[in-house]
């Protein structure tokens, strides 16, 4: 029944752009038919293509970029205090939340459009993040997932040093928060002190999401990743030495311009050698205005899809073996939902939606959603575990 619609868009890859445009067009039709009075668009797509969108979809009353929330609120005649802009509704289940510690990215990866949309890296202060964390904890949040376009750059602009270790130590003092999880770490110039914090702070999950993108040195150079195959291997070995139980999640990008079958096979060999606990695969998307857009998108779409499937087959076998090793172990599980006769939760080695899950028979056991419980693992599949509450 709202008379104002705000569409928050994504402009990262073609599929996201298409979905965003279709949503804008949908509400433009609603507005033409008198169903709403005002239509506003914000977010990455609006930031990147504002002029084009204004020409193509004039039904929109105003377009706003990624850093223009105050301007949007002013347009709506909304009453707000500047210091409250950081407060947000919890759109996840009430027991976990994402905490963005910075905005933007200073890297120049040749395939990535994020700096075009989000600008340069801007860290939030430790004091501001602690206030947000305490607010979330007061509303029942038990797990914080720290996110950023580049997590490990945090603090260089504010404190003239990589300050993620100090932020973690401070957040661990927030009462009510039991798990802190790290997402989107960049491997180049990784501050290894983070591993020491992870090893000594029980609240910091033994989990690191660190997209590597590739493992062939020539491809890494063309991607402008500022790291080599050996340096990536050494970093992973170091992580496992300091934090023996660490679960490393990574993502790989296949079909980058010029990627040969030999380069792809070296990527597969790397994944076999490193035996990542969690892995996802993306197919290269040719994004305009990126550095890579200046060369031909010469890997056939069918080849991209085939390579993505083949790499996931490699990972599927690794995941199955690693899950089988957990049978008989007792793990701490945070339960997210009930579905299909099971209570479904995650260990500290798993993020929501993208990682493995633990299923407990709801006919035999009861657990409140958002609670922790110790679960003995009784069976394993490629990506899921089954267990009983003990």
* DSSP letters spanning 197-257: HHHH-TTEEEEEE---B---HHHHHHHT-S--HHHHHHHHHHHHHHSTTPEEEEEEEE--T
Digit-coded pLDDT (tens) for 153-184: 999 999 999 999 999 999 999 999 999 999 99
Digit-coded pLDDT (tens) for 254-308: 999 999 999 999 999 999 999 999 999 999 999 888 999 999 999 999 999 999 9
CB 14 within 8 A of CB 285: yes
Task: Give the predicted TM-score (pTM) of the model.
Answer: 0.83
DSSP code of residue 192: T
Digit-coded pLDDT (tens) for 331-388: 999 999 999 999 999 999 999 999 999 999 999 999 999 999 999 999 999 999 999 9
Average pLDDT over residues 180-203: 97
Q: How many domains does one find in the chain?
A: 3
Domain shared by 283 and 167, yes or no? yes
Domain shared by 41 and 56, yes or no? yes
Domain shared by 288 and 144, yes or no? yes
Domain shared by 129 and 193, yes or no? yes
Domain shared by 88 and 14, yes or no? no
Domain shared by 114 and 54, yes or no? no
The answer for residues whose C-beta is within 8 angstroms of residue 286's C-beta and 6 or more apart is: 257, 292, 293, 297
Domain shared by 62 and 111, yes or no? no
State the residue range of the domain holding 179: 84-325
Structure tokens at 235: 């970093």
Domain shared by 321 and 228, yes or no? yes
The answer for residues whose C-beta is within 8 angstroms of residue 172's C-beta and 6 or more apart is: 180, 201, 203, 204
pLDDT for position 44:
82
Angle at the Cα of 245 from the Cα atoms of 244 and 249, rounded to 5 degrees: 115
User: Of 196, 228, 199, which Cα lies nearest the Cα of 215?
Assistant: 228
Domain shared by 172 and 258, yes or no? yes
């Amino acid at each position: 029944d709202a008379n104002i619609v705000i569409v928050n868009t994504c402009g990262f890859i073609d599929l996201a752009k298409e979905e965003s445009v279709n949503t804008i067009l949908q509400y433009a039709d609603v507005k033409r038919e008198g169903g709403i009075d005002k239509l506003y668009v914000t977010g990455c797509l609006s930031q990147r293509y504002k002029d084009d969108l204004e020409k193509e979809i004039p039904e929109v009353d105003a377009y706003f970029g990624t850093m223009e929330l105050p301007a949007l609120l002013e347009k709506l005649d909304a009453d707000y205090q500047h210091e409250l802009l950081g407060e947000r509704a919890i759109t996840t289940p009430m027991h976990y939340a994402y905490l963005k510690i910075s905005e933007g990215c200073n890297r120049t990866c040749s395939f990535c459009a994020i700096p075009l949309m989000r600008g340069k890296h801007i860290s939030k202060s430790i004091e501001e993040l602690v206030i947000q964390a305490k607010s979330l904890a007061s509303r029942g949040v038990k797990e914080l997932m720290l996110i950023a376009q580049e997590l490990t750059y945090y603090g260089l602009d504010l404190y003239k040093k990589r300050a993620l270790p100090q932020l973690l130590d401070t957040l661990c003092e927030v009462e009510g928060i039991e798990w802190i999880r790290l997402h989107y770490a960049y491997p180049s110039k990784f501050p290894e002190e983070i591993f020491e914090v992870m090893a000594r702070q029980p609240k910091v999950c033994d989990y690191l999401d660190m997209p590597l993108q590739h493992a062939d040195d020539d491809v890494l150079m063309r991607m402008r990743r500022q790291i080599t195959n050996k340096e990536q291997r050494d970093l992973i070995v170091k992580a496992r030495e300091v934090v023996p139980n660490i679960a490393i999640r990574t993502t790989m990008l296949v079909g980058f311009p010029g990627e040969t079958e030999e380069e792809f096979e070296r990527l597969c060999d790397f994944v076999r050698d490193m035996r990542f606990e969690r892995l996802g695969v993306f197919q290269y998307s040719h994004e305009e205005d990126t550095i890579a857009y200046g060369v031909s998108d010469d890997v056939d779409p069918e080849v991209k899809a085939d390579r993505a499937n083949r790499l996931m087959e490699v990972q599927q076998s690794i995941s199955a073996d690693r899950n089988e090793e957990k049978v008989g172990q007792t793990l701490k599980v945070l339960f997210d939902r009930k579905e299909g006769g099971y209570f479904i939760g995650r260990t500290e080695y798993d993020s929501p939606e993208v990682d493995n899950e633990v299923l407990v028979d709801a006919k035999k056991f009861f657990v409140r959603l958002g609670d922790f419980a110790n679960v003995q693992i009784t069976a394993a599949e490629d990506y899921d575990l089954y267990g009983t509450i003990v």
